[in-house]
Structure 1
Amino acid sequence: MIIKALVQNLEFKQRITEKLNHSNIPFEFVNYSEPLIPQIQDSEILINSVDRIDRQIINSCPNLKLVQQSGIGVDGIDIDYCSERGIYVANVPMANAISVAEHTFLLILYLSKNIKLNSFSSNPNSGAFIRRMPDHMGIELSGKTILILGLGVTGIEVAKRAKAFGMKVIAVTKHPFTKTEGGDKKYFVDSIFGVDKLPQALPLADIVSIHTPLNNETENMISKKEMDLMKKSAYLINVARAPVVNHEALFISLRDKNISGAAFDVFWKEPADQNDDLLKLDNFLLTPHIAGWTYEAIDSISDIIRINIERMMRGQIPLTLVNHID
């Protein structure tokens, strides 16, 4: 099979190379300094990590059989059109869940301890640091309530860690009744609600953490109405997809201190425009979509990609399909 990899991260390139070479699977990385379509038009499998796979890309690859995404999110792929064309779409649903959950708590702690507002006014290594009381007090997480939006693999990993901090954990998820068998404690949460109960759950939370996919149902799920329901002391965390939150509503809520702060690992257009008004706010933190990029996650991701490609080469379907082909 002709396999092309749309990958820019150097560490990921190295891991993919090691895994596929070990299985004697020939493939090529695309050269981003040259036009993309002439390089991929003979592809049967595309390994994708950064690009949008839209109709133009799909139509340019008449022999395409599989689009293998390197993460859990597939909102950048035209899945319906792939299904119509008989092209499998697979993701990597669990490999980076721990990495993303740990990054979630990095963001929670950064906000809750007011690190940004209490940061050094000059180089901390200059010797000019003088110990003094902070200008802005932090809070303890113990005893606080975290609301997890989306109780999938990553959401559950966040819930585990929240329990270790002594937090009360509540969750809003699309199919709550599938997660009540065996009791809520099985998922490290105290209460599970359906999406229809989001307005009732938001006022209870000190921290709202988003772990939902981006689709027609979740786009702008958190907008002005929802942020108005949150506590003024609450923090909003988003390591999923930025458009789950309405950009303008978030800016106004943060500017007017209707919520205390927000920390995102994702943005509406990446890389973020440094002139965006959100980035000028003291109570907003952005990390550059790095939550899932750890050595361990990349190793697991590469293994799953290798397995799916091996299955395709044997005439089997990938293990982690996200679409259905008749």
Structure 2
Amino acid sequence: MKIVVSDPVFLPEQYRKKLEILGDLKVFESTPSSVEEFISRVRDADIVIVGRYGFSGKAFNASRNLTMLSVWQTGYDHIDLKAATEKGVVVSNVPDYAFDSVAEMVFALALNLLRKVHIADTRLREGNFDWRNYVGNQLMGKTIGVIGTGSIGVRVIQIAHGFNMNVISVTGHPSAEKERKLGIKFVDLDTLLSESDIVTLHVPLTPSTEKMIGAKELAKMKKSAILINTARGKVVDEAALIEALKEKEILGAGLDVFEKEPLPVSDPLTKLENVVLTPHIAFLTEESLEECTFVCIQNIERFVEGKPQNVVNPEVLTSLRLPKP
């Protein structure tokens, strides 16, 4: 059985050994320079661990022996799930990991913006010690609007209570019991946008959430409000956000994800002072990396045992194909 790690993931020695016990292991530690190079890496694999690189229908069609794809993250919008299912390939992900890390990053970005840390750091290195340039705003007592109440959204809510914040939320399944349990108030999106000092996004990328925050939604936010996106870049209409930031329609934005990744150095976002940018690292802590790799490999172990877990295309399980030993 041939196992391929197709692009960079966190894979310490103890996890490499686990995979080597299961089969013939090949690890690629660089990002493919082209789709063709990616296909050449995975073409003969029985099982593939994939990181952020897109697994297209073309790659699935070219894969001769592929039976299982273990996605080294929660999101799988970079995987052609339809093609995988048509080929009978089981796709598993790592659900519900890194929610502590991502939730903490929300407040790192928010505090950075509100207290102008990024600006103060740059100016101080240039010799400017004039404190009058850095008057900011505190979190205490502000209203935070949390869009999405999955594991990450709930953790954000819990941390927000520690800052004595008023929490309002939009969710697909509101209930009085959930309101009481979380100490929040469910509202509609328009109300959340107009009342929040901080709007933070915690929804998956789906047809219904793509560009859910556009020009119309940004116009409903307070001029003193900030937008935080640690979810998926395409949840926000980036062109509309850039315009809102340029025109000071909102105070600022903290972005860890983008419509196009890697973010080009020439992107207009990189020229704006009222935005804090990080390269899709909200999940990136030692604790979350360890957890992600553990589950990613456990997914493979369970699959080989004939007991697949965390499967995102369960239709394939009716005719499960296991790899040859």
Fold-level match, TM-score > 0.5?
A: yes
Matched, 1:322 2:312: yes
Q: For structure 1, which segment, 19-28 or 205-214, has the greater mean C-alpha deviation from structure 2 after superposition?
A: 19-28
User: Which letter maps to 1:25?
Assistant: L
Instruction: Determine the C-alpha separation between the residues in 2 that align with 1:199 and 1:79.
Output: 33
The aligned counterpart of 1:18 is: 14
User: Which letter maps to 2:107?
Assistant: F
Q: For structure 1, which segment, 60-69 or 263-272, has the greater mean C-alpha deviation from structure 2 after superposition?
A: 60-69
SS in 2 for 1:171: strand
Instruction: Determine the C-alpha separation between the residues in 1 that align with 2:95 and 2:120.
Output: 37
Matched, 1:287 2:287: no
The aligned counterpart of 1:110 is: 112
Instruction: Determine the C-alpha separation between the residues in 1 that align with 2:216 and 2:231.
Output: 20
TM-score by length of 2: 0.89
SS in 2 for 1:146: strand
The aligned counterpart of 1:191 is: 185
Q: For structure 1, which segment, 214-223 or 134-143, has the greater mean C-alpha deviation from structure 2 after superposition?
A: 134-143
Q: For structure 1, which segment, 76-85 or 217-226, has the greater mean C-alpha deviation from structure 2 after superposition?
A: 76-85
Instruction: Determine the C-alpha separation between the residues in 2 that align with 1:280 and 1:69.
Output: 34
The aligned counterpart of 1:258 is: 249
The aligned counterpart of 2:139 is: 141
Query: Between Structure 1 and Structure 2, how many residues are aligned?
Result: 310
Unaligned 5+ residue runs, structure 1? none
1:120: Cα distance to partner? Answer: 4.2
Paired residues of 1:241 and 1:267 also in contact (CA < 8 A): yes
The aligned counterpart of 2:323 is: none
The structure where helix makes up a greater share of residues is 2
1:70-149 equivalences in 2 (<5 Å) = 70-123=72-125, 130=129, 132-149=130-147
User: Which letter maps to 1:321?
Assistant: V
Instruction: Determine the C-alpha separation between the residues in 2 that align with 1:57 and 1:240.
Output: 26
Paired residues of 1:238 and 1:264 also in contact (CA < 8 A): yes
1:150: Cα distance to partner? Answer: 1.3
Instruction: Determine the C-alpha separation between the residues in 2 that align with 1:88 and 1:189.
Output: 39
Instruction: Determine the C-alpha separation between the residues in 1 that align with 2:125 and 2:166.
Output: 38
User: Which letter maps to 1:151?
Assistant: T
Unaligned 5+ residue runs, structure 2? 319-325
Paired residues of 1:5 and 1:48 also in contact (CA < 8 A): yes
1:35-69 C-alpha deviation (Å, 9 max, x unpaired): 33222112122111121011011111132222211
Q: For structure 1, which segment, 20-29 or 106-115, has the greater mean C-alpha deviation from structure 2 after superposition?
A: 20-29
1:93: Cα distance to partner? Answer: 1.4
TM-score by length of 1: 0.89
User: Which letter maps to 2:305?
Assistant: R
The alignment's C-alpha RMSD in Å is 1.9
The aligned counterpart of 1:2 is: 2
Instruction: Determine the C-alpha separation between the residues in 1 that align with 2:81 and 2:135.
Output: 47
Paired residues of 1:171 and 1:189 also in contact (CA < 8 A): no
The aligned counterpart of 1:270 is: 261
Instruction: Determine the C-alpha separation between the residues in 2 that align with 1:324 and 1:75.
Output: 16
Matched, 1:238 2:240: no
User: Which letter maps to 2:14?
Assistant: E
Q: Percent identity?
A: 35
1:112: Cα distance to partner? Answer: 1.1
Instruction: Determine the C-alpha separation between the residues in 2 that align with 1:76 and 1:41.
Output: 18
Paired residues of 1:20 and 1:306 also in contact (CA < 8 A): no
1:192-245 C-alpha deviation (Å, 9 max, x unpaired): 24xxx2112210100000111111111110000000110110000001111100
SS in 2 for 1:158: helix
Instruction: Determine the C-alpha separation between the residues in 1 that align with 2:312 and 2:53.
Output: 18
Instruction: Determine the C-alpha separation between the residues in 2 that align with 1:136 and 1:235.
Output: 17
